[in-house]
Chains A and B, each alone.
Chain A
């Protein structure tokens, strides 16, 4: 088990339950901390709140009908549909492969397991543009494998799978480690098959972690840009993902249109955050 593995997982698991601010108590604010709080809130406002408010305001600025016509523009719909479809597909693949990899890392022993642990962390630390370049080298026009996924949907999918690889693995791994193998052995000794044991004993325990990891992967895939930009070719109506479309709108100085598309993406982000909280509560009930 690598040194890295549990901390990102803990961090990921924590993302969904930010509202549990720890021990309920705490001191009342005195002058010093109150000033600190003021500075923190001011910084958050200037950095996050005001800019996000500006996006919503810009999107709504031209009236609701203009907002509607922006988001139902053929290119916008095609970009958002493509991104949604790819993100859903990537989450599904991650749910299966991530669980499988986590299972192998926890329950299996073999030479090179530590190396596998390290390789899984590469997508966390590698700049996204390098990830894109790396994938273009293997799956692009000069591929030694003889495939060319440049400007195709498989190209986008492989880039998204690369950057989202650690999410499910790192959220399932610690839960799987905390399970007692004795329970599974008991089920087996009572005559349950391997598949039944997994389905009835293991899966219910790790399902919330799988769901959280898949939701994180979905959120990341919806907004991903750097790893996709080189391999997707950004062809209108074909391989232009939502972030690429917003980027193009900004370059064309269509800030209102960009804000409209961005609002749709922000709404999806909000949905993901709500989902994560639900999954965290579900997981807490199991824990």
Chain B
């Protein structure tokens, strides 16, 4: 196509993305820079922030581990076995992507809320608090990122088939050896991709966690909740913490782009 005709389209695409994404992100970096290096380090090193990092890492870490174990297991089941309800299982895994995070939080409260939930009173009798505590935040985070690992691993498993696993079995390898020596090496890049994707999603989760956490400062407040509170109260620090989250997102994008070329399939 003539060079002349490309120009307006190129310009439109670059301007749209620039005004919508690049400009605002750049402005936040600028404003953070304006407030100085001292403000940056005092904000990201404050006691509330440090507590929030720890909690965020715990919650996101647990959710990613749960999703990875479930994801690999479910992908193996869906790829290698046939059973009643397989299509239904496959459909349910995709459900969480399209549910509003606030509805996710509400749904968890209705089951695990200590006073009126279906299972909450039972669990609180044995001293296990879910809502307004870390377990509820883990559940909320795991819910919203549920399909990410399965959907990366499953197509790879389906594509490679199970000849190698069968061969290993016929040579006497037990289930664990087959998983460790045959299956995991096959799916490792897809798995890495899914894990990083989940991690980015889990670290940034806000709505669902806000509903189930109770948002108690220094107790159940993750980094995203702290950013929101500081921004709403006009307390300083939110630009600096946003830059930290921005940097984490950037690292995730870079890692994903490093992992990606390896899974040419």
Q: Are B92 and A49 in contact (CB under 8 A)?
A: yes
A180 within 8 Å of B by Cβ? no
B119 cross-chain contacts in A, Cβ below 8 A = 50
Q: Are B193 and A7 in contact (CB under 8 A)?
A: yes
Q: Are A226 and B206 in contact (CB under 8 A)?
A: yes
A287 within 8 Å of B by Cβ? no
A136 cross-chain contacts in B, Cβ below 8 A = 231
B137 within 8 Å of A by Cβ? no
B28 cross-chain contacts in A, Cβ below 8 A = 133-134, 137
0 or 1 for each of B158-177: is its CB under 8 Å from A? (1 = yes): 10010000000000000100
A14 to B82 alpha-carbon distance, docked (Å): 20
Q: Are B158 and A22 in contact (CB under 8 A)?
A: yes
Q: Are B258 and A225 in contact (CB under 8 A)?
A: no
Contact of B79 among A22, A52, A266 (CB under 8 A): A22
Comparing B37-45, B46-54, B245-253, the segment that makes contact with chain A is B245-253
Contact of A144 among B27, B175, B239, B249 (CB under 8 A): B27
Comparing A68-76, A118-126, A203-211, the segment that makes contact with chain B is A118-126
A243 within 8 Å of B by Cβ? yes
8 A Cβ contacts from A99-140 to B: 100-101, 103-105, 107-108, 110, 112, 116, 118-130, 133-139
Q: Are A134 and B27 in contact (CB under 8 A)?
A: yes
Q: Are B99 and A122 in contact (CB under 8 A)?
A: no
Contact A250:B25 (CB < 8 A) given known A223-B99, A266-B103: no
B187 within 8 Å of A by Cβ? no
Can you name the residue of chain A whose Cβ is closest to the Cβ of B143? A47
A185 to B249 alpha-carbon distance, docked (Å): 41
Contact of A28 among B81, B253, B258 (CB under 8 A): B81
A187 to B2 alpha-carbon distance, docked (Å): 15
A100 to B9 alpha-carbon distance, docked (Å): 7
Tally of contact residues, A, Cβ under 8 A: 99
A161 within 8 Å of B by Cβ? yes
0 or 1 for each of B22-34: is its CB under 8 Å from A? (1 = yes): 1111011001000
Q: Are A48 and B92 in contact (CB under 8 A)?
A: yes
A124 cross-chain contacts in B, Cβ below 8 A = 200
Q: Are A273 and B99 in contact (CB under 8 A)?
A: no
B181 within 8 Å of A by Cβ? no
A110 to B154 alpha-carbon distance, docked (Å): 36
Q: What is the interface of chain A mostly: helix, strand, loop, or mixed?
A: helix
B151 cross-chain contacts in A, Cβ below 8 A = 11, 14-15
A53 to B82 alpha-carbon distance, docked (Å): 27
Contact of A19 among B25, B87, B152 (CB under 8 A): B87
0 or 1 for each of A31-73: is its CB under 8 Å from B? (1 = yes): 0110011011101100111111011011000000000000000
A265 within 8 Å of B by Cβ? yes
A50 to B175 alpha-carbon distance, docked (Å): 32
Q: Are B154 and A37 in contact (CB under 8 A)?
A: no
Contact A119:B17 (CB < 8 A) given known A138-B23, A138-B24, A246-B100: yes
The residue in B25, B101, B116, B146 that gathers the most chain A C-beta atoms within 10 A of its C-beta is: B25
A135 cross-chain contacts in B, Cβ below 8 A = 24
A23 to B128 alpha-carbon distance, docked (Å): 43
Q: Are B253 and A129 in contact (CB under 8 A)?
A: no
Q: Are B14 and A116 in contact (CB under 8 A)?
A: yes
8 A Cβ contacts from B75-133 to A: 76-83, 86-87, 89-111, 116-119
A29 within 8 Å of B by Cβ? yes
Q: Are B80 and A27 in contact (CB under 8 A)?
A: yes
A144 to B24 alpha-carbon distance, docked (Å): 11
Contact of B81 among A29, A103, A265 (CB under 8 A): A29
A32 to B169 alpha-carbon distance, docked (Å): 14
B82 cross-chain contacts in A, Cβ below 8 A = 24-28
A269 to B31 alpha-carbon distance, docked (Å): 38
Which 6 A-B pairs have CB atoms at the shortest separation, nearest pair first?
A223-B100, A127-B204, A51-B107, A54-B110, A3-B257, A22-B158
Between A and B, 24 residue pairs with Cβ closer than 8 Å are: A3-B260, A19-B91, A36-B73, A36-B77, A37-B77, A47-B146, A48-B143, A51-B108, A55-B106, A101-B16, A104-B6, A104-B13, A107-B1, A125-B250, A127-B223, A129-B224, A136-B231, A165-B21, A222-B100, A224-B100, A246-B100, A250-B109, A262-B103, A269-B98
